[in-house]
Structure 1
């Protein structure tokens, strides 16, 4: 069995049309997301695209999260991001309920730039406890390059880490937009993933939260491929003296999990050799940025299963870890073949978190 931990929602245009209403009104009014029957949802070209993508990839179950660049964390006022992400999570919950053998939900946290992370926690609890989601997407830079959000080793994030441990769900680190950064939208992902790893493993986070489960997107950004630099820095007399973790940099890396969305056999083989097959989880981000054809292989770049199969050094146990076993360990709420447990609440009852307390309900 293959569990793809990194997938994003292909949503109906009706959902994005609703966003324009939220943006135009600055989420002042209680306009709900557009209603959609189960039959309509199944008939959408966007739903068929999600299904076709995982079928072509050989995936049995894909964990679906919002499309990162549409999470709108930098929009003002912050209630726009709250209401939008609550609505998208409801849409994902419905799709997972209709197709429970193919999809499970990864919720998008409403993380308006400049707000305490505590404002995201009601939506996290709703998604996990009521809607049957199995984890969350964590944006390390909701300000989109404005350099105002503390790094992930900072105590700013501790309320979220505490809640993740309480719920026993992992956070999948994935940046979103890049309004203010120096790099492009694509390079912003790599930059933020690299910063997230270095901040986490050079902090007290894993001492204070030993049960915390973090997945880093896209093979860990640049860190695994610049590992010599970080090994050397860890051994520098000043760093070694003041470092909270009395272990090597390689040991610290193994406190984190990494997905396979790298699009290169050589890079993927290097990652697995560095951190071990028990720390790598299968992901494709398909459909996504890797849908272009690779002229060297004749396959799309996001045909990640073919890359895993082509690495001769992997044992059957290694492949089983990457394809399924690690995901099972990371996502204890993922049930049997079908992904998420039965939904307890109404996915369309979307405004029950921070948005409701701000008095902007229906």
Structure 2
């Protein structure tokens, strides 16, 4: 809605024609907002993260994936508040008589690694199953500066994955490549069609 927050929720039937085509062509969608149109919400520091969190909450409230069991959404920026407030979301889903989040959403929703510090990446990969995490690195993204504590760019997320003490070598492979190939499954079929 162009940063105005006036469109119907993601679970509304308004969007179903798009979802039907996404499922037909096996296309995932990244749920990402445009710039903020409200001076109260800094675009990358508030608006983006609010939208990530809002998208997840809308999916909890609805039953979109009952209608589209193979629909795939990627929520950027590590899911906004989702990993940090996982217990809250689990509790809200329970109060709404929804299935456990693992069954209700985690076959369809994935999160990227655009989180700009080691504790954030570690939290993401502690709370969210590795199968639901896809590598992303903005590089010239929301935060372009160098962290004075580390001397590295904030948005060089590969270094956080590499430095993780909780991820195995296989976990890292899944985040870098395996999960991406599973979620963006048309990639492999196109490569096979080209003989690659």
Q: Same fold (TM over 0.5)?
A: yes
Distance in 1 of aligned mates of 2:146 and 2:49? 22
CA RMSD of aligned residues (A): 2.2
Distance of aligned partners of 1:211 and 1:184 in 2 relative to their CA distance in 1, 3 Å threshold = same
Partner of residue 26 from structure 2, selected from 168, 175, 192: 168
Q: Deviations over 1:307-353 (max 9, x none)?
A: 001111111110000010111111123259x98x88xxxxxxxxxxx
Distance in 2 of aligned mates of 1:219 and 1:230? 15
Distance of aligned partners of 1:276 and 1:191 in 2 relative to their CA distance in 1, 3 Å threshold = same
Q: Deviations over 1:160-205 (max 9, x none)?
A: 1111010111101111111147311121101111111110122111
Distance of aligned partners of 1:228 and 1:335 in 2 relative to their CA distance in 1, 3 Å threshold = closer
Tell me which of the two structures has the higher relative contact order, counting C-alpha pairs closer than 8 angstroms and 6 or more residues apart. 1
Give the corresponding residue for 1:194: 53
SS in 1 for 2:54: helix
TM-score by length of 1: 0.50
SS in 1 for 2:83: helix
2:64 is equivalent to residue 184 of structure 1: no
Partner of residue 186 from structure 2, selected from 324, 333, 342: 333
2:9 is equivalent to residue 151 of structure 1: yes
2:84 is equivalent to residue 231 of structure 1: no
Distance in 1 of aligned mates of 2:84 and 2:91? 14
Distance in 2 of aligned mates of 1:253 and 1:264? 26
Partner of residue 248 from structure 1, selected from 100, 104, 127: 100
Give the corresponding residue for 2:78: 219
TM-score by length of 2: 0.89
- For the 8 Å contact 1:286–1:302, the answer to whether it is kept is yes
- For the 8 Å contact 2:2–2:34, the answer to whether it is kept is no
- For the 8 Å contact 1:144–1:181, the answer to whether it is kept is no
Give the corresponding residue for 1:70: none
For residue 143 of structure 1, report the CA deviation from its aligned partner: 3.2
Distance of aligned partners of 1:332 and 1:249 in 2 relative to their CA distance in 1, 3 Å threshold = closer
Distance in 2 of aligned mates of 1:156 and 1:302? 35
**Which structure has the bigger radius of gyration?**
1
- For the 8 Å contact 2:31–2:75, the answer to whether it is kept is yes
Distance in 1 of aligned mates of 2:140 and 2:38? 26
Aligned length: 192
